[in-house]
A and B are shown apart, each in its own frame.
Chain A
């Protein structure tokens, strides 16, 4: 008697666990889409970009001069990016992130995460 009930409980628990794992996998597939910023002509385009929490922003340097992507608050900092090189950052917290090119500091941009 006890064994049958034990087996049944175990079976139910197992199914529950499998369902949970399954649904977690489904959520992982629902990640917000990535956003692109193009660096060209000494500017970030678009200069201000708005993305959801969890989004990954990818900067691609299309200029014929190297640039960097550096957060003014020390949140992220790319190595120097030459033509066609990329830098990505995933924004896990909401907020406004100002950044600039540390080589050409007049180049500024903003990522709004909400």
Chain B
């Protein structure tokens, strides 16, 4: 049975590198999500195992570093796709608190608020206080930098950052880089990192040993998911070129409100589900707006990503799970 699953997964892997996936493939992937699929990248080759949450302890116990990525909470959104985004964010926090290995910290990959309003940021902060994690690290989404060029975002979440809010930090030998690609967007364009940030990033990683695992997190995907909908970053290639020497690079993004994965050499790209509302698969709707699903199915298309850095390996394991 496990072999059959692995065969299916290997087949699906070949499809991940194509631009977009068909609806059937998308739904099949979504079905796997609920089971808790562990992706581990070892020597650049993804290996997967399905595990039942809580039963297979060997995956989660003793991981040297464990953190959770959440994304796109859109506090303040209240349309039919989800009339209560605070409740689903709370459900995400409950999920985090129920994990077998509690995370050391959370990464929020942006669109914290829906309209950059103070009460929306306050509301998210309040709910996240209930999570069993010491810290939360943020990068902004385009919904977080409205009307004030990100000033209020930076005052709240990026006090020790450079420029528009980029920064890096280290945890247990893993180097984390938070990038901002939602500022100064040009008409007809994609996400943008900009020259100043790229220069900073090149210097930031220059003297790190190539054995250092790298985690890059930014809101808009740093790979070309679907340019027609703005799902990509126009100067990400340059950023990734600075990471060529590293054996393990994990890129964590949000923005598209669905799980997408791509492996390219030593780099694993992963986008997370939203905690607020899903969006359609690339090209499967007229526009990338909120996608309505029957109320009882909403929690099954929202979720969190549990990331573990395992002892003795240079790779990070990403486990996506839905809220219900």
- Taking Cβ atoms with an 8 Å cutoff, the residues of A that contact B are 41-43, 63-66, 68, 72, 79-80, 82-83, 98-100, 102-106, 108
**Does the CB pair A64–B289 fall under 8 Å?**
yes
**Does the CB pair B185–A65 fall under 8 Å?**
no
Residues of B within 8 A of A102 (CB): 185
Chain B 283-302 residues near chain A, CB threshold 8 A: 286-290
* Known A64-B290, A100-B187, A104-B142; further 5 A-B contacts with Cβ < 8 A: A41-B289, A42-B229, A66-B114, A68-B146, A99-B187
Cα A9 to Cα B229 in complex, Å, equals 71
| Binary CB contact string for chain B from 166 to 201 against chain A (1 if under 8 A, 0 otherwise) | 000000000000000000011111100000000000
**Does the CB pair A103–B146 fall under 8 Å?**
yes
Q: Is the interface of A mostly helix, strand, loop or mixed?
A: loop
**Contact check: which of A63, A64, A83, A105 meets B188 at CB < 8 Å?**
A105
Instruction: Kindly report which residue of chain B lies nearest to residue A65, judged by CB atoms.
Output: B289
Residues of A within 8 A of B289 (CB): 41-42, 63-65
| Binary CB contact string for chain B from 142 to 161 against chain A (1 if under 8 A, 0 otherwise) | 11001100000000000000
Residues of A within 8 A of B230 (CB): 104-106
Is B244 at the interface (CB under 8 A from chain A)?
no
Instruction: Kindly report which residue of chain B lies nearest to residue A98, judged by CB atoms.
Output: B187
Considering only CB atoms and an 8 Å cut-off, how many residues of chain B contact the other chain? 24
Q: Known: A64-B290, A66-B143. Contact between A106 and B188, CB under 8 A?
A: yes
Residues of A within 8 A of B290 (CB): 64-65
Chain B 197-211 residues near chain A, CB threshold 8 A: none
**Does the CB pair A80–B79 fall under 8 Å?**
no
Residues of B within 8 A of A108 (CB): 187-188
**Contact check: which of B79, B142, B187, B287 meets A42 at CB < 8 Å?**
B287
**Does the CB pair B287–A43 fall under 8 Å?**
yes
Is B81 at the interface (CB under 8 A from chain A)?
yes
Most B CB atoms within 10 A — which of A43, A98, A103? A103
Q: Looking at the assembled complex, report how far the CB atom of B19 sits from the nearest CB atom of chain A, in whole angstroms.
A: 16
Residues of B within 8 A of A79 (CB): 146-147
**Does the CB pair B142–A103 fall under 8 Å?**
yes
Q: Looking at the assembled complex, report how far the CB atom of A77 sits from the nearest CB atom of chain B, in whole angstroms.
A: 10
**Does the CB pair A41–B146 fall under 8 Å?**
no
**Does the CB pair A100–B115 fall under 8 Å?**
no
**Does the CB pair B116–A80 fall under 8 Å?**
yes
Cα A82 to Cα B74 in complex, Å, equals 13
Q: Known: A66-B114, A80-B115. Contact between A72 and B79, CB under 8 A?
A: no
Is B22 at the interface (CB under 8 A from chain A)?
no
**Does the CB pair A103–B143 fall under 8 Å?**
yes
Residues of B within 8 A of A72 (CB): 187
